[in-house]
A and B are shown apart, each in its own frame.
Chain A
Amino acid sequence: MIKHLIGLGVLLAIGMTYPAIFPNNLTIAISVLLFAGWATSWDLLGGWNGQVSLGHASFVGLGAYFVAIGQSQFGLAPWWTMAMAAAVAAVLAYFWGWLTFSLRGPYFSLSTIAVAEILRLVAINEEWLTGGATGVFIATLPEPFGVDLFSRTAQFYMALAFAGVVIATVIVVSRARFGYQLRAVREDEDSAMAAGIDPTATKLKAFMLSAALTSIGGGIYGIVLAFIEPHVIFALLLSVQIALTAIIGGRGTIWGPAVGALVLIGAGEIFRTTFAEANMLIYGILILVVVLFVPRGIVGELARRHIRRLYAKRA
């Protein structure tokens, strides 16, 4: 655990210098960091706990909407609204999980799609609050200590902090009693129950933590976009992208989702600027290749080979 935390610290320190080295490529770095944070949060539930969510866009949207509405209608600073969004996301996850976690099989995954759809329709129809289908603008933001939150540099550090906190959370959880409970439930619910673990409670806790963390990243995303439209922010596509990032990188590993974000968003950006129209095709082929030949995900596969080598040496 200490090793991973030190590694994270080193990476964050290197990350701090990024804006000075690449001052004109901040948007893409922010995307990578946000997706790293979201995918790592997703993985708490989807990887460590084995409950695949295809509705994490709802938490992203929740965070973004809280920040945007709080600022434009109530004049609330984004740090307050992000905290509120995290709390609401956790409560939402609690009720949602309470309804669905006692079911087994793919029911939970199906319900996650439905919840994101419900939130999208609420955002479209409750016009008095959300601005309806035409969306909501963030025109002004407070300037804490004279920092312009609209500047990409400030947003980069916010995203870096977000990704750092999420990964640190997973590192701590992975070695904690709770982390072992998560894995036990993932591997076999009945055996876990026999060992005195309440599977539903474990899943609920993981879901709430995952939801709260995701919504904080959503708040930062709202600030980055400064304009939110419900069709886009609650889209199934975004949910799938988050899940895919974690799966490609390696489910149930500490660094997998972050590596997935780097590979997918980074490759997407390189393909976009070099291959023009064909970029989506090549992107799709890349995903196909990973799924076919590296089904454990990039980091998952590396870890497996590493372990096999260790055993081979010992034998």
Chain B
Amino acid sequence: MRIAIAAALAATLCVVGASAQAQVEVGVINSLSGNFAAFGERYRTGLQVALDEINANGGIKGQQLTLTIQDDRSEAKSALAAAESFASKGVPLVIGSYASSITGPLAQFLTRQKVPMIVLGSADDSITKPGSLWVFRAKHNSTIVGKAYFDYFDHLKNTKKDVPLESVAMLYGNGAWPTSLAKEGKRLASERGYKVVGDQSYDQGVTDFRPILNRFRGANPDILYIVSYAEDGVAITRQMREVGLNAKVIAIDTSAALPSFVQQVGKSADYVATAVSWSQDVKYPGAQELYGRLKDKAGGEPSFYEAEGYLALMVAADALRRADPKSRDSVREALAATDITTPVTTVNFKSAEGFQGQNPIRSLILQIQDGKHVTVFPDDLAAKEAQHPTPEWSTR
């Protein structure tokens, strides 16, 4: 009996000893329960894939990298409690979170605590503009995405001069992301000489968009610029077909980027364009291979959310390798000096236009072709040509 106890004790000590072996711990604040759990799950898959890769390649200067993931229940007050525990625990940096209503307070708090932070999912401009010395974002924001859409429109206009693209109608939810992307769209439209013939926001929870779409039909826009969350975008696309609202270019942000959009909308999804930070067919080295690993881990079709989770941890690991993980100042300096290429995108934090700690990431435009998301823009990263113009509903 005594021997058994002694053995058990020894075993525990060994385990404790093993875990006390040098390792670098990164704090992650992610939405695993509550409203945003579906996204949080995808981000976690991406983080895990990155973690496996980093540790398979020798970790951080020979030390194992570990993730401590805390759930924020999709609300700011829990995220702040998690941030407080990470700040006092001495982690070199924190990665988090999805919604801007959570990430905004997090960024404020971690800046005051002087803890380097890498944004996981939030794309709100206000996180990095004016931003702070301690907050870094490798993924896009509304300024970058808005510009990607209008660069794409310009590109279509210049390649097919016989198809005039002059007017744009905008439809968007009244949440933080749709509003700011629509605002950026309006600014770019007037800057680049597009006429805004429709501008309509709707409250989340609306299901009947026909009155708006009918009004748009009267204005006969060349481009439809729509920013909607999942179900809204599906309803809008179906109802667009019903009322016969035709446009030469249909762009639907966020909603159309999800694999489920094609399943729910069916054939009507074809020709729809959407901006993302990553796609499996993008011409970055290793993208296809990353797609395979993300797919295995996720057990289903991965999206750019998994890729963004992967990206956040790869950026963190790169900085930690160049810094002293015990000094947050040194980690922050290393982050600021980041200059890497990952299978997701290139990353540096050379801030411009009032942004700070923002990666000037190149957003991709995907078009749904025969039920598949295909990268069509920018040219040097594209897998296929865009199908343009979108035919009228009556001929499809």
Contacts and interface: CB of A to CB of B under 8 A. Distances in A.
Interface of A: 23-28, 31, 121, 124-125, 132-135, 137-138, 150-152, 224-227, 229, 231-232, 268-269, 272-273, 276-280
A280 B74 CA distance: 11
16 contacts: A24-B84, A24-B85, A24-B87, A27-B77, A27-B80, A133-B176, A134-B124, A135-B101, A225-B104, A232-B101, A269-B78, A272-B78, A276-B71, A278-B33, A279-B71, A280-B33
Nearest to A23: B88
Interface of A: prevailing SS: helix
Contacts of B179: 124, 132-134
A213 B298 CA distance: 48
Nearest to A273: B70
A26 B81 CA distance: 8
Nearest to A121: B203
Interface in B157-197: 174-176, 178-180
Nearest to A278: B33
A27 B81 contact: yes
Contact of A135 (B34, B75, B80, B100): B100
Which of the listed residues B77, B100, B109, B178 has the most CB atoms from chain A within 10 Å of its own CB?
A: B77
B381 interface: no
A135 B104 contact: yes
B219 to A, nearest CB: 22
B383 interface: no
Interface of B: prevailing SS: helix
B125 interface: yes
Contacts of A273: 70
Nearest to A265: B77
A263 B112 CA distance: 30
A224 B80 contact: yes
A76 B8 CA distance: 63
Which of the listed residues A26, A27, A121, A135 has the most CB atoms from chain B within 10 Å of its own CB?
A: A27
B126 A226 contact: no
B81 A31 contact: yes
4 residue pairs, one from A and one from B, having the closest CB atoms: A227-B104, A24-B88, A133-B179, A226-B108
B283 interface: no
Contacts of B77: 27, 31, 224
B76 interface: yes
A229 B101 contact: yes
A28 B88 contact: no
A229 B33 contact: no
B180 A133 contact: yes
A8 B34 CA distance: 35
B125 A134 contact: yes
A277 B71 CA distance: 7
Contact of A133 (B73, B87, B175): B175
Interface in B103-128: 104-105, 107-109, 112, 124-126
